[in-house]
A = this chain, B = another copy of it.
């Protein structure tokens, strides 16, 4: 009975024969799993709704982050927290577009309690629609409508470095482009520009890290700066920082104190120097890593091709060699970040 159900689901998620050729992993035993929210503040408004069926006045809660977690049996490793990037949600870390295991499950299988969040105002973390309704009601000028953006497939193509521009493909590309339609379904509208700096997610991550009493913050892209900003708030509970292709690193000439004793990895994929969007970011992060190192700190910057790992896009946690990269990352974590229970 199970088998037909499994196979049929697999056919949904897998437009390619990739998984059919791979070995099915053994069952996974979970000590505990669940979901909860961190943070949040109450907002009173008279423009909650413009519909007669729902009151226009009342209180809503915003700025919280949704967190889903799994803890493996006999967890021996430090908890990891996975933080997605622009226009995406926690789905980033789950089953890949071509149906392979995501990092969320892989890290659990490798012994890490794993926490996956949706940033504030994204996915299952509530956004605040009151200003939109205020515009609809004529109380706010249209020009002040919140700037909610969606990245189109064509623009995302270059941003995620599948190729120089849509629909060109970099030679040796590891992203499973045959499943691009499934990937594009992961993209959601982004309310980032409606939020203050630092993003409310940052204070929430600090609260989460403190309550977990130790977690490695693994960010991606637009959330790249979040773990660093979290460390500025409070280094407590942050066991280490892994910034995957961060949209920004802290300024090399800024206050480096929060980062000096923090085990930190900044990781980039391939083709970065071919991208006008990403080349300056790599350069900025390189300057930051060098400044921290010069100050006696522990920040390491790695570009995958320098390790002989080639062809990786910006979405390297979904690339065809995603688990190979995860294995390398796990070894880095084992070497550089003290593991609880060891």
Q: Assess A95 versus B35: contact at CB under 8 Å? Given A30-B30, A145-B132.
A: yes
Q: Check B152–A133 contact: CB distance below 8 A.
A: no
Contact B185 A126 (CB under 8 A): yes
**Contact A68-B94, Cβ < 8 Å, known A60-B187, A74-B2, A127-B189:** yes
| Residue on B nearest A193 in the bound complex, by CB | B51
> Which of the residues B2, B66, B155 comes within 8 Å of A91, measured between beta carbons?
B66
In the assembled complex, A1 has its CB within 8 A of some CB on chain B: yes
Given A12-B38, A28-B33, A212-B9, does the pair A75, B130 have CB atoms closer than 8 Å?
no
**Size category of the binding interface on chain A:** 35 or more
Q: Chain B residues near A153: list those with CB within 8 A.
A: 42, 58-61
A123 within 8 A of B: yes
In this complex, what residue of B is CB-closest to A95? B34
Quickly give the copy total for this chain.
2
Report A1-58 residues with CB < 8 Å from chain B CB. 1-2, 4-6, 8-9, 11-13, 24, 27-38, 40, 42, 45, 48-51, 54-55, 57-58
Docked Cα-Cα span, A125 to B188, in Å, equals: 7
B213 close to A155 (CB less than 8 A): no
